[in-house]
Amino acid sequence: MNPIAFSTLPLTAPFLANIDSLGYHMMTTIQEKSLPHVVAGRDLIAQAKTGSGKTAAFGIGILHKLNPAWFAVQGLVLCPTRELADQVAGELRRLARGEGNIKILTLTGGAPMRPQIASLEHGAHIVVGTPGRIRDHLGRGTLQLNNVQTLVLDEADRMTDMGFYEEIAGIVSACPSRRQTLLFSATYPDDIRRATESFLSNPVEVIVESQH
């Protein structure tokens, strides 16, 4: 199969130029299979191994519909660990270059609460965090998710294995019911499918087998 260029997607010229400047010329297989549905606004379950480019698949999805002039949390990404949240935030910042002044905040456990609360008072367009800490902020009323347009569950299998189900369910219920939900995972066994099904609305499912 021939690789497909990002320029086949309905994205603005400056956004495409920035993606190209990152050295991303052709879509990876999971990007090729998921991005047309993601940019069309569909809910999606994407299963592909680590290192296959899943971050850009949901990152482009969040950014292409984000309004930089609207200073509200429009995108939320849940990750299993602080390290992964930092990596995702870094990739989103690179993808967001040139898209206006987009503020991306990382909220993870282990870090002191007070600076996170101060940052939240200044506002953010996108929040990337771990379920426990996000839930904590919701409980304190320091984070509002009522404007979330795109919710991403990254590494859903690991988050579920780590026992984050209750936190995730609480966070999902704090998001508007009219939203786009994207679930990315390396594996999608039946127990995780049953646990997460209710978070998605009529999702498209894409799988890239590991030999690709």
Q: Which does 24 bind (CB under 5 to 8 A by kind): Mg ion, ligand ADP, none?
A: ligand ADP
Instruction: Tell whether residue 135 is a contact of ligand ADP (CB under 6 A).
Output: no
CA 128 to CA 3: how far, in whole Å? 30
Q: Which does 27 bind (CB under 5 to 8 A by kind): ligand ADP, Mg ion, none?
A: ligand ADP
CA 87 to CA 95: how far, in whole Å? 12
- As measured in angstroms, the least distance from the Cβ of 184 to ligand ADP is 7
**Of the residues 9, 11, 27, 77, which one makes contact with ligand ADP according to CB under 6 A:** 27
State which of positions 38-67 bind ligand ADP (CB under 6 A): 50-56
Q: Is 10 exposed, middle or buried (0-12, 13-18, 19+ CB in 10 A)?
A: exposed
Stretch that binds ligand ADP, among 24-32, 96-104, 120-128, 190-198 (CB under 6 A): 24-32
Q: Which does 10 bind (CB under 5 to 8 A by kind): ligand ADP, Mg ion, none?
A: none
CA 169 to CA 190: how far, in whole Å? 18
Residue indicated by tokens 């997607």: 9
Contact assessment for residue 53 and residue 31, using Cβ atoms and an 8 Å cutoff? yes
Question: What residues make contact with Mg ion under the rule CB under 5 A?
Answer: 54
CA 196 to CA 6: how far, in whole Å? 30
Instruction: Tell whether residue 28 is a contact of ligand ADP (CB under 6 A).
Output: yes
Contact assessment for residue 107 and residue 26, using Cβ atoms and an 8 Å cutoff? no
- As measured in angstroms, the least distance from the Cβ of 154 to ligand ADP is 7
One-letter amino acid at 144 equals: Q
Instruction: Tell whether residue 185 is a contact of ligand ADP (CB under 6 A).
Output: no
**Interface contacts to ligand ADP, rule CB under 6 A:** 23-24, 27-28, 31, 50-56
